[in-house]
Amino acid sequence: MLEQKLHPLNFIILPLLGIVAIFSATQIIQYAIIFIIMLINFSLLCKRPQLKVLLWFNLSLIPPLLALFISSYLFASSSELSNYSLTNHTHSRLWLSTILSLRLYLLSLISVGFMLHLPQEQLILDLIQRKIIRVKIGYSFLAVFNAFAFMKQEFTRIQIAYKMRFRKKWLSPQILMPLLVAAARYAHHLSISMYTRGINQDRSYHQSIIKFGLYDSGLILLNCVILSIVIFTK
Amino acid sequence: MSTPIYQVENFGFHYPQSNYNLKLDGTFIIKQGECVLIQGASGSGKSTLLAALKGLIPHLINGKVSGKILYNNQDITGLNEQQLLDIGYLQQNPDSQLICKDVYSEIAFGLENQGFAATLINEKITKIADDFKLSHLLTRQVSELSGGEKQKINLLAILVMQPQVLLLDEPTAFLDPESAHEIIAMLQQYIKKSTVVIVEHNHYYLQQIVNKVISIDDNGQIKQQNTTQIVWNQVLPNLKSISPHPKSILLELRELNFSYKNSSQLLNKISLSVNSGEVTAITGRNGSGKSSLLKLIAGIIKTQGQIFWKQQDIAEINYQILWSKLTLLWQNPEAHFIYNSVNEELEYNHETLTMFDLVPQCEQNPYSLSEGQKRRLSLAIALNLKPRLILLDEPTFGQDYEHKLQLAQLITELKNRGMSFIMVSHDQDFINALADHKYHLSNGSLKLC
């Protein structure tokens, strides 16, 4: 399968190319092509997309997009409108508002879509093995991903204790103290666990890393070429 | 004659910026192949001593050390990290020791640090998992494991490194009795080859494996004891009494069903009735739904027509009114601390301070109290709210015998004043001493024991 051969860094490089292209695009057709290219990239990289989360994210974008559309329609300056040599002012305003809203939508969707599916663990392990980040720092990050579930549980307990004690439905910053203590204890135990198992810089690894190879370079090059054609073709 | 592994002489430790000063008076030797239990009251310095035996002091935990600890005739403070890998160290909380996302990587972590090749790592992991019959867990994610399974993986991750000595800091503290027995069975299998030092309050699990006991008393005096001198199963006295107050039904659960979204049925037709001035105990394995049941009763998770407070559906009772009548205490007392002093936590209520024997600590920060004092303070905070029913989640967690007895006496006293308790606990001894009604939660059903 191709997604197993592709390097996790593609999750960062490809959307970055897409974002640069979006900032350079000026026409709706260009945005549409960039979107299709990014969609193809996404489906190549991602085995199981979180469609439900993406759908909710799309819905959450409606209010800011509407706000942007209305404000740019109402308050666009004449200098901005002069860039669009359309028949009348109303059409120019509509055009500008649509372009801006589309840009915001694509930027948000591409950033969140790729970041949401970023294989953090694989990426960090890769960076550790390439000695780009230190072993202690890298494994601390990995452990933090595990800690989320524990901290969520602890937060729920503290939140319940607070609400019942003060008979309030709302929380106060006071609950930060027990939460901080729980987090500090967790971090302390974790550091002991790493230390007692001999964490060090010169270690071996049981799994081999995916090499940044021909497929990755090819995909990035192809993206660069197609996006350049899209942007520079008027 | 077996060679001494550890020689400890008058060990002392002072944590920086703390009033806590550990001073152990005495000498002891741990020989190769021994299984040693270190016992003492909460706060007597057992865990600190164990950390020092691992060499965490002063390498990872800074402070002022006095006395001497020799490991294989070498001062332990002078050993480097690689030499210290000979000593395995298991902590009590199964969750906070896990580093990797999947079980295989977790076990491989220590071997990778020792620089073994991938093929050798695979061989070692396969062998040890087979030996301990845990191969089925290797492909799982750590987040999917139960508390007992997590602790087994933590132990396996240490054993795979083949340490000469194994140090265990309350390894069964977070586990239900079945999981605790399974952990001890794993140790029993391993113990033939190695030296083991255990700090544990739950002595009764250890009788089979321990062959030497070191006791630390309240004054820091170290005493070596024979295993025959130890009361392995310290049983609390029977404190059950009939409350002098007239009984009335406080809480009723009528065929309560519950499941989390996209999960199978957790609780199935649970019926329970709690009277005033009664202690009800619920047991069950980790993950059987005990904590969810407490949340349902407390109205944290909403229900409709299944839980009744004095014949009124709790869904119809305003949350402020409901929470003035019942409250919940988590197993970690620190979850209830908000203020900077005991006095503030108890709103300067001298009567409560006296009742819970917290007057000498009234100016202290709650987080700096001993485990027993923390538990008493959390109960005192709950009592300050004057509830009719207190829900207790693992009330004896981290408590030694003396503190358990104190807690049991306090609960009895409150019960005699007409207060009711529902406690979820693994501690059979505590339950037997206190509970008027005992239930077991298994496969979603609540059965009277």
How does strand B326-329 pair with strand B389-393?
A: parallel
B144 part of contact set with chain A, CB < 8 Å: no
- Which residues lie below 8 Å from residue B315, measured CB to CB, with a gap of 6+? B299, B302, B303, B304, B305, B307
Predicted pLDDT at A167: 83
**Are the C-beta atoms of residues B298 and B326 closer than 8 Å to each other?**
yes
* DSSP type of residue A211: P
Least confident stretch, A79-88, B101-110, B362-371:
A79-88
Cβ atoms within 10 A of the Cβ of B228, count?
A: 7
Substitution target from B57, B104, B156, B334 for chain A, most A beta carbons within 10 A: B334
Tens digit of pLDDT for each residue in B321-341?
Answer: 999 999 999 888 888 999 989
What pLDDT, on a 0 to 100 scale, did the predictor assign at position B386? 87
Q: Output the pLDDT for position A84.
A: 62
- Spell out the residues 6+ positions from residue A104 whose beta carbon is closer than 8 angstroms to its own: A61, A64, A65, A68
pLDDT, tens digit only, all 234 positions of chain A: 555 678 889 999 999 999 999 999 888 899 999 999 999 999 999 888 999 999 999 999 999 999 999 998 888 777 766 666 556 677 788 888 898 999 999 999 999 999 999 988 888 988 898 888 999 999 998 888 888 888 888 898 898 899 888 888 777 888 888 899 999 999 999 999 999 999 988 899 988 877 888 899 999 999 999 999 998 886
Pairing of strands B445-448, B437-442: antiparallel
Nearest to B95 among A150, A174, A204 (CB): A150
With tokens 């092509």, the residue in question is A33
Chain A / chain B CB contacts < 8 angstroms: 141
Considering only CB atoms, B97 lies closest to which of A162, A181, A190, namely: A190
Measured between beta carbons, the chain B residues lying within 8 angstroms of A149 are 143
The share of chain B scoring above pLDDT 90, in percent, equals 43
Of B98, B158, B335, the CB nearest to A161: B335
Q: How confident is the model at residue B122 (pLDDT cuts 50, 70, 90)?
A: very high
How far is Cα B258 from Cα B264, in angstroms, rounded to an integer?
A: 9
Q: Is B320 in Cβ contact with A146 (below 8 Å)?
A: no
Residues B38-87: pLDDT tens digits?
A: 988 777 888 889 999 999 988 888 888 899 999 999 999 888 888 899 99
Cα gap A40→A25, rounded to integer Å = 19
Using the Cβ of B385 and the Cβ atoms of chain A, whether some distance falls under 8 Å is answered with yes
User: Residue B188's pLDDT is what?
Assistant: 86
Which residues in chain A have Cβ-Cβ distances shorter than 8 Å to B88? Answer: 196
Q: Report, as an integer, the average pLDDT of B378-403.
A: 87
Q: CA of B339 to nearest chain A CA: how many angstroms apart?
A: 8
Structure-block tokens of residue B96: 């906070």
Contacts of B375 by beta carbon, 8 Å cutoff, 6+ apart: B333, B395, B398, B399, B403, B407
Decide if B270 contacts B442 (C-beta within 8 A).
no
Task: Give dist(CA A14, CA A223) in Å, integer.
Answer: 8
Domains and CATH numbers, chain B: 4-229 (3.40.50.300), 248-448 (3.40.50.300)
pLDDT of amino acid B368: 83
CA B410, B415, B420 angle in degrees (round to 5)?
Answer: 120
Residues of A in contact with B112 (CB under 8 A): 203-206
Band (pLDDT 50/70/90 cuts) for residue B31 is very high
**Sequence ranges of the domains in chain A:** 2-119+212-232, 122-196
What pLDDT score does A115 carry?
Answer: 94
What was the pLDDT predicted at A85? 59
- Percent above pLDDT 70 for chain B: 100
Partner A, chain B 57-96, Cβ-Cβ below 8 Å: 59-60, 81-82, 84-85, 87-89, 91, 93, 95-96
Alpha-carbon gap, residue A29 to A40, rounded angstroms: 17
| pLDDT for the residue numbered A80 | 67
Q: Decide if B282 contacts B296 (C-beta within 8 A).
A: no
pLDDT, position B263: 79
| Cβ <8 Å between A193 and B98 | yes
Q: Which of A142, A164, A165 sits opposite B100 (nearest CB)?
A: A142
